[in-house]
């Protein structure tokens, strides 16, 4: 568990923002990943929300060596195993189940489980998780809520995702218990559809320059 935590920590501490991607067209996966890597965001989360998501992970893992591709919206052990087989280097879920925890325990690839309430967070701390996804962040109290957790749940850090943009990312990154944020704003649907990879690289570079607490 400790080695997997170290792997996950290194990935999340490596950049202030993790792009959360929905790949509608498989042909977009590689140029999109390359654009984000060029902008300074090598760690990317491809969500399993589209039919081509697993194939997209496989393509990026094999064709973009500088990318650190992860799988998001992982809801079941089957999702977890499929993503790992495709080359995912970290796994993200909006919540968790005992089945997912059992799978994560046996897997070599680290798991970022989601939690939103103090009870959920405490339960995952008991399972050995000290970095958690906080989702949906804006809809459940935002940065103010996360700030209120810092003292009673000291030692737990979060990657908040959901409703985060360049405008409010700084509010989260100013908190001592936020390791990074997740968001979609660096890869808008319209830019992906138009193949505007240079514009995405510029957005990524801007996000990569965000400052964190400490």
Q: Per the residue annotation, which of 24, 126, 127, 133 is the catalytic one?
A: 133
> Catalytic residue at 147?
no
**Maximum separation of any 2 CA atoms in the chain, in Å:** 46
Q: Which of 45, 127, 190, 196 is catalytic?
A: 45
- Name the one residue in this structure whose structure tokens are 């320059």: 209
Give the separation between CA 149 and CA 177, rounded to whole angstroms.
8
Closest CA to 162 of 105, 95, 87: 95
Q: Which residues of 53-88 are buried (b: 16+ CB within 10 A; e: fewer)?
A: bbebbbbbbeebeebbbbbbbbeebebbebbbebbb
Q: For residue 40, is it left (φ>0), alpha (ψ between -120 and 50) or beta?
A: left
Q: Is 133 one of the catalytic residues?
A: yes
Report the DSSP pairing between strands 68-72 and 181-183.
unpaired
Rounded to an integer, what distance in angstroms lies between the CA atom of residue 164 and that of residue 149? Answer: 19
Catalytic residues: 45, 133
């Amino acid at each position: 568990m400790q080695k997997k935590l170290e792997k996950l920590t290194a990935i999340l501490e490596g950049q202030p923002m993790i792009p959360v991607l929905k790949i509608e067209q498989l042909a977009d996966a590689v140029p999109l990943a390359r654009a984000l890597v060029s902008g300074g965001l090598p760690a990317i989360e491809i969500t399993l929300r589209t039919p081509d998501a697993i194939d997209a992970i496989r393509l990026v893992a094999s064709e973009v060596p500088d990318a650190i591709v992860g799988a998001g919206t992982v809801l079941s052990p089957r999702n977890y195993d499929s993503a790992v087989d495709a080359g995912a280097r970290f796994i993200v879920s909006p919540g968790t189940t005992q089945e997912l925890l059992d799978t994560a325990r046996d897997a070599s690839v680290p798991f970022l489980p989601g939690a939103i309430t103090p009870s959920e967070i405490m339960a995952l701390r008991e399972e050995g998780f000290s970095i958690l996804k906080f989702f949906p962040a804006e809809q459940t109290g935002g940065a103010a809520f996360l700030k209120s957790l810092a003292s009673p749940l000291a030692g737990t850090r979060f990657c908040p995702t959901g409703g985060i943009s360049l405008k409010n990312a700084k509010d989260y990154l100013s908190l001592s218990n936020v390791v990074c944020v997740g968001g979609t704003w660096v890869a808008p649907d319209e830019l992906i559809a138009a193949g505007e990879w240079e514009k995405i690289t510029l957005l990524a570079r801007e996000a990569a320059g965000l400052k964190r607490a400490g």
